Every structure is written in structure tokens, then in C-alpha cells.
Amino acid sequence: MITGYKTIVFYICGTAAMGGLLFGLDQGFIANSLETIRKVYGLDIRSAEHYSSILATGGVIGALLAGIFARYLGRKRSLVLSGFFFCSASLVSAFLPPLIILYVCRFLLGFAVGVASFVVPLYLAETAPAKIRGAMGTLFQLLITIGIFLISVTNVFVATWIANPQTALPLMFAVIVIFAGLMFAGSLFLPESPRWLALKGRRDQAMAVLQKTLNTPDDVRRELMDIEGALGNQSVHGRIVFKGYFIKILLVGIFLQMFQQLVGINVMIYYAPTIFGYAGMTGIIAMMTVPTVNMLFTFPAIRLVEKWGRKKLLYVGALFMLITMLAAGAAFSMIGDQTDPSMIGGVPKTILLVAVILYIFGFAVSWGPVAWLVCSEIFPLQGREVGMTVTTMVNWTFAGLLMDNALTFMQTHGHASIFFLFAGFCVLAGAFVAAFVPETKGVTLEQIERNLKAGKKTRYLGDQGFVN
Ligand code: BGC
């Protein structure tokens, strides 16, 4: 339990992290609603796929523009903006508009997700006190997984109990409208990020926010000095992105987000029911195992990320995912070309189910939260928007690529193949962490920045300067 912080810190972090909930609601929406959407709009498989994947396109563009919004409008107003898009796009969708408008709305939801996936971690990293920065940052991921779970449950429920798709679909969207409304309203009352205020030269306002969030005047003074020190060190505005040290750390963020997707998580999030179906498993287990395990095992991550640190979690996660992907591949190798589900034995089914559960566990306690968290911590203040824009776009691009190609890949190369491929990426991901990723637990963002500018190797950026 995290204690010793002002209540407002929890309001600030909780409200901002609602952006994560909306991310999850939209990400998880498709799995159990697609049939209903297809019935209402008479979509064939291709159009349905297209409808699903527009979210990722919106996400890439949202992430691209989010950097500009965050810099010029501020972090808070960018959150308000994404809340507005979440709200309006899901509300319009709930009225079952013409198909083209429904597509536009899904794109706008993706856009809002892109903005939120950029701004929320940034805002949390800049506003939460250093010692709980990791835990609060993890909230973002926790709420993503709660969102995926919640919408999976409500969509299964609605689809089961309401036979008329014309009535069911508006209700499915209504769930998103409610939470989007809460996020929109809540974010109107958030304070601006003190680091953004300082960046804009609004020292007094930055101090006022720090006074709200920190416990003692000493803490406020120290934090403000640290922030201003980092700002004072900025040589030429805007040019930082061309500096060698920035490019170095940008590559770390890019690879981290790329690996977060290449280990295969969204193939499970989107297609678990289909994949279980290939192994002859259907029903509630196929539909609910992944979202449930994903949500439950993100809770321990909140504590572990501060206790064990980021890197240890990344190693443990990569190892779990490696072993379980090999096991899932082995299960499908045992199944072979069998297409008659009744002929598939209990052994491969059990191996597959256990492997998927442990795989999701491995991701949920580690790469899920930590990739976003580390990307919100490693960039110097002046280049933070650019760094997070690029890394968020990379995340969405690879997410989209995998969603678009995974099933075809399995059909072309055999069902087992994709799991062995993901296992290979887990090995590369682990090696990458060992060689390049810094441990950022308990270090102020300014210390990380000083180390970076002093030319330290990226994996040593968390050295020294622990706050207490
Ligand atoms: C990833 C998403 C994924 C989610 C699953 C996030 O960290 O970025 O792509 O759907 O975790 O929980």
C-alpha cells in the first residue's frame, strides 16, 4: 500500500490514468463485439478487419500530433482533448450512424488513444513524486488491462442477453461513453504538469503545483531546483533531437516499444478466441482467459516495479514469455494439421491453455507496464515530447502490423510457427535489455538527464543520485 502522499496526488494520477482505461476499452472492444457490428452493418470479413485496424492508424497519427499538442497546449489540455474525442466519437457511434461515419469514429477513437498513450505516461512521470513515479506510471497499464477486461465482459454479457443487434450495439458503445465522460470531466480539474510550466517559464505556477503535490517546502524547493537545473542545461532549444546522446536514448525507447509488440501480446489480446478455436477450445474460456489473467497480474506489477526495479521485471517477463511461447508452439506441433476439433487430445489443449495463461502473466507483470514507464522516464525534458512521440508511434505501428498479419502468417506457415517466432523475439528482447536499458527505479528524471548528457552508456543512466 502506498501511503504518506497527499490525496490530491492520487486524484491527479487516477484521473490521468483513466486515459489508460479508455485505451483498454477501445483496444478490447473488438474481440467480443465484432459479430454484432457485422450483423448491424452487414460487413464482410475484410471490412470488419478494416474497421478493427483503423484504430491503430488513428493511434499512430494521434501519437504523432500528441507531441505537438503536449508541447504547445500543455499536458493537461491534451488530456482534456483526448477525453473529448473519446466521448464524442463513442457517443456518435452509439447512435449507429452510417458506416462511413462509424469508421471515422473508430479512427477518432484511435486518435484519442494515440494522444492518451503519449500524454498519460508523460503527465504521470512529470507530476507524480519521484518515489512513487513507477507505481503511478504502472497505473496507466493497470487501467489499460482493466479496460480490456471490462469491455470483454460487458460485450459478452450484452451479446448474450440482448438478441437484437440493433439494441445491443448502442449499449456496447454506451459503456465507453460513460467512462469517456468521466475522464473528460475529471481531467478538466487536473493541474498542469509542473515540468511543462517550468519549461514555459511559468515558475510561480510550477511551484504552486509542486506545493499541492509534495509534502514539505523542502521537497518543493529541491524539486524546483532540479527541474530548473535541467532546463538551464538546455543548450539550443529544438536542436536537442540532433544530439548524439538523444539519438542514442531514442533508439533505446524505439527498440523497447518495438519489442513490447514483437513478443506478440496483441495477437493474444485480439485473436485468443480464434487461436484457442484452432485447438478446439471455445466458449467462455476462449473469450475470457486472456483479458482476465492480463488484468489480474498487472496488480503485482505496481509494487514490483518499485521493489525489484524495471530491468529485473523485464528479464523475468522475457523468460516467462520465451518458455511459454515455446510450449504453445509445441502444443500446436502436437496438434499438427488436425482440423477436426473432436480429434484434438487433452494434452496439447492443456499445454496451450497453461502456456497462454503464463505468457499473459509474464507480459502483464513486466513488458506491459515497464515499456511505457521507461519511455516516460529516459528522455531529457527538452526532447521528451519528440522521444515519446516517436516511441509511441513505433508501438502502434508494430501493433498494427502484427494485428494485420498474424492470422495469415499462421495459415501460411503453420499454427505453431508464430509462437516460435515470438519466442525468438523474447530472446532478442532480453539481450537488448541487458545491453542497453537503464535501471530507472527511484532516480529523478533530472539525474537520468544529467547522466545522459555526461555521456554515460545508456544502461548506466540510472546510476547515482538516488532520492530519499
Ligand atoms: C500494450 C498494448 C496491449 C496492452 C495489453 C499495452 O502495454 O501497449 O498494445 O494491448 O498492453 O494489456
Spell out a b/e string for 268-286, using b for 16 or more CB atoms within 10 Å of the CB, else e.
bbbbbbebbebbbbeeeeb
Q: Is residue 198 part of a domain?
A: no
Q: Is the CB of 257 under 6 A from ligand 1?
A: no
Closest CA to 391 of 404, 373, 406, 408: 373
Q: Is residue 225 part of a domain?
A: no
Q: Is residue 212 part of a domain?
A: no
Q: Which residue has the higher pLDDT, 240 or 97?
A: 97
Residues 6+ apart with CB under 8 A from 190: 12, 15, 16, 76, 79, 123
Q: Is residue 227 part of a domain?
A: no
Cα(265) to centroid of ligand 1, in Å?
7
Q: Is the CB of 138 under 6 A from ligand 1?
A: no
How far apart are the C-alpha atoms of 29 and 190, rounded to whole Å?
28
CATH number for position 182: 1.20.1250.20
Mean pLDDT calculated for residue range 434-441: 94
Range of weakest confidence among 114-128, 138-152, 155-169, 359-373: 114-128
CA nearest ligand 1 atom 5, residue: 145
Q: Is residue 205 part of a domain?
A: no
From residue 399, give the alpha-carbon distance in Å to each of 293, 424, 437: 20, 17, 21
Mean pLDDT calculated for residue range 387-397: 92
CA nearest ligand 1 atom 12, residue: 145
Closest atom of ligand 1 to CA, residue 269:
10
Instruction: Find the domain containing 151 and state its range.
Output: 7-190+233-460
Mean pLDDT calculated for residue range 414-418: 94
Q: Is residue 210 part of a domain?
A: no
Question: What predicted TM-score, i.e. pTM, was given to this entire model?
Answer: 0.84
pLDDT digits (tens, 9 = 90+) for 109-126: 999 999 998 888 888 888
Closest atom of ligand 1 to CA, residue 145:
12
- At 466 the pLDDT is 42
CA nearest ligand 1 atom 3, residue: 266
Most confident range (mean pLDDT) of 189-203, 287-301, 414-428 is: 414-428
- At 151 the pLDDT is 95
Work out how many domains the chain is built from and give that number.
1
Q: Is residue 308 part of a domain?
A: yes
Q: Is the CB of 33 under 6 A from ligand 1?
A: no
Q: Which residue has the higher pLDDT, 218 or 80?
A: 80
Q: Is the CB of 117 under 6 A from ligand 1?
A: no
CA nearest ligand 1 atom 6, residue: 368
How far apart are the C-alpha atoms of 242 and 267, rounded to whole Å?
35
Closest atom of ligand 1 to CA, residue 371:
7
Closest atom of ligand 1 to CA, residue 298:
12
pLDDT digits (tens, 9 = 90+) for 348-371: 999 999 999 999 999 999 999 999
DSSP one-letter code for 4: S
Q: Tell me the residue ranges of DSSP E strands in 297-452.
A: none
Q: Is residue 258 part of a domain?
A: yes
How far apart are the C-alpha atoms of 302 and 447, rounded to whole Å?
23
